[in-house]
Structure 1
Amino acid sequence: MTGWLLLLMMLAPSPRLDEGDLPRILVFTRMEGFRHDCVDNGVKALRELAVGQYDIEVTDDPAEFAPGNLSRFDTVVFLNTTGDVLDGPHQDAFEGYMRNGGGFVGVHAAADTEYDWPFYGSLLGGAWFKSHPAVQKATTIVEDPFHPAMSTLPERWERVDEWYEFRANPRGDVNVLASMDESTYSTHESMGDHPIIWTVPVGNGVALYTGGGHTIESFDEPAFRSHLLNSIKWTMDDGWIDLIPSGGFTGWKSVSNWKNVDGASMDSTDRSAVVVGDSDGGILVSQMGDGSHIKSESDFGDVELHLEFMVPEGSNSGVYLQGRYEVQILDSWAKVAPSFGDCGGIYERWDDSRDPKGYEGHPPDVNASRKPGDWQTYDIVFRAPRFDEQGSKIANARFERVLHNGILIHEDLELSGPTRGSLPSPSEVAEGPLMLQGDHGPVAFRNIRIRRIERAD
């Protein structure tokens, strides 16, 4: 990394807005290679979608990629750009913008851009354009229907477009949202496994690439327009995913004995119980405490997680990263010397063949617990275990940071394996679900937000 780039990253303000302002996007349309005649209709669509959602500026001038100017935007959209569109200083400015928390949406020929710029390749997961067949109807398989960019799409999405084939398969380096069913159309050079929409975290920023958008008609299709809007909104929100729906349990499984309600509080007449509202409202509650755990449909590796929880007197719960590594939730108010089993503890591992059976529990550095009935927060940065190509573990899972009610209670804590009560098989994985424990007594959760973060290795 050049000294110039380091200076940009230190000085560039984070692309955030004053409260009440609409977010801003910059649509970049420079074409130094093939010129797509759909760009004007694409710009028209993005302007129409902008109403009430974002302010939009459109340019084909690379001079707009100056650090002081880029910081005005939450997301930059490369709309069918082609060829070498940015020079060295503007490349450095854009990299600094992304690493400092900017957003990127690449549409179609954005993959036919900047072949000799390694950082740009990282936004694409290394998957630059290679070839394509004729424009034709094909089916896209939505692999992650719970991702905000895909939430309005059918599982099998049939449409007409020019279907790119790529120089490399990005799977393994990106989070694949959708792939092509190559049996539904005539390929030029079959990829077999053929991702077509994906995301990748970059520094503090996030990138999304979508392979559609060659034809003029694409930008008139309601489903494609909805996908574009949701992709932009997701990148503007720094890649966060809200895991609790306003009603129902979309995105969750094993939901028996859980409720989605509009209110939850400790019962004033029975302080071990929780009183809940009658309507849907985005608060998940287990009133039974009977061992029924709720799991996210989506799997995650390295993540940043925010959640809020509430327990009445005597209740016991927990949040499991990847369904395997528990941060304990317990009524631990005013406890002087908390153990691994108290609120904020990393629960112990368990082996029936050992004596003692429990081992490697980690108490919180500080007891930051609030009174029973009060809402509390966890803010967690988690690193998943690493595996080689043969599937052998080469690095342990790690809690990089755990804050309880804003107070640091764990830092750089390595775990040799899953904690007690984890999902049984396989023992450890590169990606797994978030699991909320229904253990003993009621528990309520709200404002659960998660985002994938850039790998540290």
Structure 2
Amino acid sequence: MSNSFARRAIGVTVVACTTAALASGPPATAADAPYDVLVFSKTAGFRHDAIPTGIQLIRDLGAAGNFRVTATEDSARFTAAELAGYEAVVFLNTTGDVLNTAQQAAFESYVRGGGGYVGIHSASDTEYDWPFYGELVGTYFASHPAIQQATVRVEDRAHAATAHLGPAWTRTDEWYDFRGSVRSTARVLATLDESTYTGGSMGADHPHTWCKTVQSGRSFYTGAGHTKAGYAEAGFRAMVLGGIRYAAGRTKADCRPENGYTALYNGSTTGWSQAGPGGFTNSDGTLTSFGGLGLLWNSAREYRSYSLKLDWRMAGDDNSGVFVGFPASTDPNSAMDNGYEVQIDATDTADRTTGAVHGFKAADQAARDAALNPPGEWNTFELLVEGERLRVFLNGAQINDFTNTDPVRSLASGHIGIQNHGDGDDVSFRNIRIRELSGTTPRTGPIVGVAGKCVDVDGGSSADGAKVQLWSCNGGANQRWAVDGVTLRSLGKCLDAAGSADGSVVRLWSCTGGGGQNWAVGGNGSLVNGQSGKCLDADGGGSADGTRLIVWTCHGGANQRWNPP
């Protein structure tokens, strides 16, 4: 439980250890609620002899992991009624054109509506003429050299599919080159190091395993899985299980694209200092707290306007926190008195539990609970600091939005630190990274909503009050939006809610900085208006071209789910 920082003392001991290729597994976690998985292995091109081995692997995983497995090569199963019975569908070494038009439509609706997809190896050598499938996987197979040993570099060690791996994973497989990188649309979990094998053609950035969201659905893909022998490897088996659990919604992850971050900690504690007793062990690219109360803080410099991401895991009912916006000091009380703590503790009071700004603002409990992985599993925080505003994202979902009004404190400039709370409070951290926002280019692209249609400015008009609507995506400038701070901008103007009542129209308007032009990512893919607290909504649940956009009380329906740039 959190105490006042006056009762916390901090110290640091850093123990360096050699990184293992395959990390030790996390503590045991509670069994997943039962679910169902469809394994689809139809081929219309090359057929891998590892398919039966792969099916047996997934059956074994299901028997141990509390999910039922149905294996089929019958594409007639791809109907809305049939797919509704599965939390995830695995495309296991499929090739070629395996679904007809009606089956494609049913599967697209299933995924966009919240279903899960797992693609293994030649799943990317499938359905080249179906645009949605390309969007779902992220890219297509291009070529491969001979089967050989190579080293996989693990970028994300928080996702359930890769958390068990060390930073480097050496194994033998058939290594795919792809038609393009997925880095702008997916979270890359692992890449191939082309210097460790011959014949790779993608260069220094060669994604190999990744995850992404497609509206309400979840997608996981790995290029591994060619050889029969590979399916017996513990590391690969755990990767497949983690991918299935993510796709089925049994574990959460931040699968938003991630680019432009600089490591503050990824194994080296250079630039960090400890204040107070206790500290952190440093092993396998992981900091684990002991003793305390204390604070390991980045003393190298202060930061202003940034996105801070870090991965953390509790062993049980433990306590820690992330501090931001505090001045340099060897006194740990300074961080408490002058900065803010984003809490890590799943069982304390609302203003002192995970995602809360400790003592100041509770997290959105429903959103927090929906996004939180239990003790024993990794979670990812993003702390987005813009001036005096602090937004907290847990596994990609916004769970808190806090603005400092205390003249004694300031989020606008300060240091960053992680807490070692005390004996028995064992919390681990990985991959602490930062992206500074000053001078960065806003993210741009379409905002895709219900039925795969785009947020569109009617007729391309830039006049104040221009209608904003749903329309079939066409790539036009009037469907291109920039995420600029808390605003969404197109044609040089802002997405604006004309009022706060249910049904208030959303329009294009000159940017004023008002609350009606502030938008935040909420739960279930929602876009929440800062003035009203209501959600961007396709009027009447419509999906036809020309459907007007409004704000409406948030309810999580398909017409309130959006995929912004």
- Taking structure 1 as the reference length, the TM-score comes to 0.59
Question: Against the structure 1 CA distance between its residues 395 and 349, is the aligned structure 2 distance closer, same or farther, given a 3 Å change threshold?
Answer: farther
Where structure 1 has 5 or more consecutive residues not aligned to the other structure, the ranges are 1-18, 243-248, 262-278, 297-305, 330-342, 351-356, 360-383, 415-452
Contact conserved, 1:255 with 1:294, CA < 8 A, in 2? no
Question: Against the structure 1 CA distance between its residues 94 and 328, is the aligned structure 2 distance closer, same or farther, given a 3 Å change threshold?
Answer: same
Match for 2:320 among 272, 284, 295? 284
Write the letter of the residue equivalent to 2:148.
Q
Deviation at 1:411, TM superposition (A): 1.6
Q: Please give the per-residue CA displacement for 1:315-354, whole angstroms capped at 9, x wherever unaligned.
A: 589997434476569xxxxxxxxxxxxx96534799xxxx
Question: Against the structure 1 CA distance between its residues 172 and 325, is the aligned structure 2 distance closer, same or farther, given a 3 Å change threshold?
Answer: farther
The reply on whether 1:180 has 2:208 as its aligned counterpart is no
Contact conserved, 1:385 with 1:397, CA < 8 A, in 2? no
Contact conserved, 2:48 with 2:93, CA < 8 A, in 1? yes
Q: Matches of 2:163 and 2:78 in 1, distance apart?
A: 32
Aligned to 1:386: 442
Match for 1:46 among 33, 36, 58? 58
Match for 1:59 among 72, 77, 87? 72
Q: Matches of 1:230 and 1:78 in 2, distance apart?
A: 15
Question: Against the structure 1 CA distance between its residues 291 and 168, is the aligned structure 2 distance closer, same or farther, given a 3 Å change threshold?
Answer: same
Question: Against the structure 1 CA distance between its residues 260 and 215, is the aligned structure 2 distance closer, same or farther, given a 3 Å change threshold?
Answer: same
Contact conserved, 2:194 with 2:204, CA < 8 A, in 1? yes
Match for 2:131 among 118, 125, 146? 118
Q: Please give the per-residue CA displacement for 1:180-214, whole angstroms capped at 9, x wherever unaligned.
A: 00000011534442100011110101101101000
Q: Matches of 1:29 and 1:166 in 2, distance apart?
A: 21
The reply on whether 1:411 has 2:529 as its aligned counterpart is yes
Where structure 2 has 5 or more consecutive residues not aligned to the other structure, the ranges are 1-30, 255-264, 280-287, 291-314, 324-331, 344-352, 364-380, 392-399, 413-439, 446-480, 487-517, 533-560
Q: Please give the per-residue CA displacement for 1:7-29, whole angstroms capped at 9, x wherever unaligned.
A: xxxxxxxxxxxx99511111000
Match of 2:356, SS?
A: strand
Aligned to 1:440: none
Q: Matches of 2:406 and 2:194 in 1, distance apart?
A: 45
Q: Please give the per-residue CA displacement for 1:57-107, whole angstroms capped at 9, x wherever unaligned.
A: 111111111101101111110000000011101100100000110111100
Q: Matches of 1:137 and 1:160 in 2, distance apart?
A: 4
Question: Against the structure 1 CA distance between its residues 25 and 321, is the aligned structure 2 distance closer, same or farther, given a 3 Å change threshold?
Answer: same
Question: Against the structure 1 CA distance between its residues 67 and 163, is the aligned structure 2 distance closer, same or farther, given a 3 Å change threshold?
Answer: same
Q: Matches of 2:179 and 2:411 in 1, distance apart?
A: 49
Match for 1:73 among 86, 102, 105? 86
Q: Matches of 1:240 and 1:75 in 2, distance apart?
A: 14
RMSD across aligned positions (CA): 4.4
Match for 1:219 among 210, 228, 231? 231
Within 5 Å, which residues of 2 pair with 1:50-449? Answer: 50-53=62-65, 54-125=67-138, 127-187=139-199, 189-237=201-249, 240-241=252-253, 280-285=316-321, 288=333, 289-291=336-338, 308-309=355-356, 311=358, 321-324=383-386, 345-347=402-404, 386-387=442-443, 394-398=482-486, 400-401=519-520, 411-412=529-530
Contact conserved, 2:389 with 2:411, CA < 8 A, in 1? no
Match for 1:32 among 22, 44, 54? 44
Q: Matches of 1:250 and 1:282 in 2, distance apart?
A: 23
Question: Against the structure 1 CA distance between its residues 228 and 409, is the aligned structure 2 distance closer, same or farther, given a 3 Å change threshold?
Answer: closer
Contact conserved, 1:179 with 1:194, CA < 8 A, in 2? yes
Q: Matches of 1:152 and 1:109 in 2, distance apart?
A: 24
Q: Matches of 2:133 and 2:203 in 1, distance apart?
A: 22
Write the letter of the residue equivalent to 1:456.
P
Question: Against the structure 1 CA distance between its residues 327 and 110, is the aligned structure 2 distance closer, same or farther, given a 3 Å change threshold?
Answer: same
Question: Against the structure 1 CA distance between its residues 325 and 260, is the aligned structure 2 distance closer, same or farther, given a 3 Å change threshold?
Answer: farther
The reply on whether 1:456 has 2:564 as its aligned counterpart is yes
Deviation at 1:250, TM superposition (A): 11
Deviation at 1:282, TM superposition (A): 4.0
Alignment identity in percent?
Answer: 34
Q: Please give the per-residue CA displacement for 1:203-242, whole angstroms capped at 9, x wherever unaligned.
A: 1011011010000001000110011111111121176239
Deviation at 1:148, TM superposition (A): 1.9
Q: Please give the per-residue CA displacement for 1:261-308, whole angstroms capped at 9, x wherever unaligned.
A: 9xxxxxxxxxxxxxxxxx952443589514566799xxxxxxxxx955
Match of 1:114, SS?
A: coil
Match of 1:25, SS?
A: strand
Number of equivalenced pairs: 317
Deviation at 1:173, TM superposition (A): 1.7
Q: Matches of 1:396 and 1:83 in 2, distance apart?
A: 41
Match of 2:220, SS?
A: strand
Contact conserved, 1:102 with 1:238, CA < 8 A, in 2? no
Contact conserved, 1:175 with 1:199, CA < 8 A, in 2? yes
Q: Please give the per-residue CA displacement for 1:350-378, whole angstroms capped at 9, x wherever unaligned.
A: 9xxxxxx999xxxxxxxxxxxxxxxxxxx
Write the letter of the residue equivalent to 1:33.
G
Q: Please give the per-residue CA displacement for 1:98-123, whole angstroms capped at 9, x wherever unaligned.
A: 01101111000001000000000011
Q: Matches of 1:168 and 1:221 in 2, distance apart?
A: 28
- Taking structure 2 as the reference length, the TM-score comes to 0.49
Contact conserved, 2:218 with 2:246, CA < 8 A, in 1? no
Q: Matches of 2:32 and 2:163 in 1, distance apart?
A: 26
Q: Matches of 2:170 and 2:190 in 1, distance apart?
A: 12
Match of 1:168, SS?
A: coil
Match of 2:95, SS?
A: coil
Deviation at 1:412, TM superposition (A): 4.8
Question: Against the structure 1 CA distance between its residues 412 and 117, is the aligned structure 2 distance closer, same or farther, given a 3 Å change threshold?
Answer: farther
